[in-house]
Amino acid sequence: MIQIKSLDLFAGIPVTDYSAALKWYERLLGSAPAFLPHDTEAVWELAEHRYLYIVQQPEHAGHAMHTLFVDDLDAVVAQIADRGLEPAKRETYSNRMRKITYRDIDGNEIGFGGAPR
């Protein structure tokens, strides 16, 4: 196993249309990006040292699959709904863990997972 003392995670999502994706991810995540490295990349800090970013790379768009495990899944889903986005898929696994999946305009999947109610 690799021994890591410090870790920053950057989870990337390639998109076709940066401007459209930027608006969608601002709605999904509830804020403007934390920083913009260049004209076609936006980065959100989801938690300390944990980042999600979009970057215009049409040749790779539509294949990202990320799941964020959150403390209060119902609250997160309600907040996202208040911003006008509805899940593409809702799942409850045999161990009662839940996952709510959203798909951006390219088909990239962003899931939010949570413990049983």
117 pLDDT band, cuts 50/70/90, is confident
pLDDT at 3: 86
Per-domain boundaries in the chain: 9-114
Give the dihedral of Cα atoms 53, 56, 57, 60; nearest 10 deg: 50
pLDDT, tens digit (0-9, with 9 covering 90-100), for 26-49: 999 999 999 999 999 999 999 999
- Nearest-5° angle of CA 73, CA 112, CA 51? 115
Task: Name the superfamily (CATH) of residues 9-114.
Answer: 2,3-Dihydroxybiphenyl 1,2-Dioxygenase, domain 1 (3.10.180.10)
Q: What pTM did the predictor assign?
A: 0.93
DSSP for 27-38 reads HHHTS--SEEEE
Q: Please say whether the beta carbons of 91 and 99 come within 8 A.
A: yes
Interatomic CA distance for residues 66 and 13, integer angstroms = 9
